[in-house]
Structure 1
């Protein structure tokens, strides 16, 4: 009785061994064909934590790289827009100098050009990229500027301001001048200074009520790009930047140059032209500085991207070393298993030829 049980146990054990060898052969054959270990963590044991860390590093690196790529493209689009804005500023600075010499009919030409340039500049600063406004800061779902009509249109702020000044001064031409602090003191330049410096009380007459529409303002919370673990790159370039405000200020003044002499004398127009030229040159200088700062941010972002690429590549190489198979070792194991299986099959076949009496 015990002999029969023991013999059956040997048969069951042999079958279990056969199944295990077949499973190992299938696993090793799969590893040989794929070049990857089927379960590298099991073979590493306690060292598997390194593998998990490397995979986490790659995942984080890819996320940072993607964010950096998008931010880099966004900054490139911003630089393109700034370059075009700078060209418009240069154009108006040049025309202002010519108008100062030619005067008369040139005043009307430059006033018309100023309105066109203002519209083009605002369109550039309202540019959207990937569904987001480039110059609206954190309020990127909103176009930052209302449009040129709000300033220089027939019912815009400039015309309303002129009407108020004419009404307050009667039939005399509007006095050109400004108070020491630039406040709205009833003079033309003072009124414009108060508007573009946002010192007026009424929202309807302020820069942030008439021109700038976004809630995110220069000097507030900056736009951030993640460039590493716990590290971000920040930049602040919005359409209410002082460079743009001065340019809008200058262009709004230049749009007055086609006013009739009864509203604005030739001497007053010359004063307006000089003030606008000074503002535009200052705006161009500020824009150059702001674009340079943005360019430095862009360059740093590119360097961080290169570092992240090298880090991810190194981690991937380490993972490949840990998960990759040794073809020679795997081939040797497969050969050994095949020999063992053949031997086991042979023994099983021999046993199957025995009579039941002999087997028991």
Structure 2
């Protein structure tokens, strides 16, 4: 009971110290609000509103229909230009795509002759050029097929119907916003847990703590619980107010289950942060040490690129040494697919096991330092 009281008192001390750290408070507010929106929405790489110019030298009903087929949300309304105007406009970077419909295009197709429709692509915009050219090719070929042979596709032997579950419109913002929230939890928990120890050293208050009748595990747990509580509260608030409320991203799963998994995860990450802090003496050293750890944990967590695309040995390694892949799998299952605890029990067990291992290692390190 006395140990629990000591942990509670030290936790309150850590929260008071955090409250006085205005820079960290501003950083947390920014990361869980504006940064989530900027990364997932404002800096989106989705193909939308592509600029298109059309050189129509056919002036047939088919060419008119092709021009009408180029519409939002993938494309902006196309501009009709002459060939010389289109060349100059693309040189000036005004249009990503230029569609040139040659003379007698419809007449040649109806006569069974070969007809060529050209699409000029500004490949300096790599993402737009690759995806945009594929999209406009599909749109134009489908429109030509429907115009010349209406009903052909419905009469074919195979009719493939695609239905996208959990994200029907394939909106990248839905995925990016939640994954950015997961990354923010990892980054801030590493920074706050480690900086709480570095701050004690730089301000000279660590000596005051060491002469108090407290044990190493009480110091460690109080720092993890204090910073973990702040991160957990901020992440849940961001999920409800920013992701679901402001951005309109539907959250399907249980908020309580998400909070449980996040609580276990912040304990593991906080322990890693304290472990790294035990090898440094100031914030400069800690920053240099923690940056590569953050990069590896985020890039190889499966939140930015699928784990399946990585070499098998790397998948096994990351699942063994890092709790981040298990947390990403857990968060995606709960928040996207509405999974219950039975489906994510294995991931929760892995995160819990890693939390215990990380706590044991950091406690052993702190006992060695204090002795």
Task: Normalising by structure 1, report the TM-score.
Answer: 0.27
- Higher RCO (C-alpha under 8 Å, 6+ residues apart): 1
Greater C-alpha Rg: 1
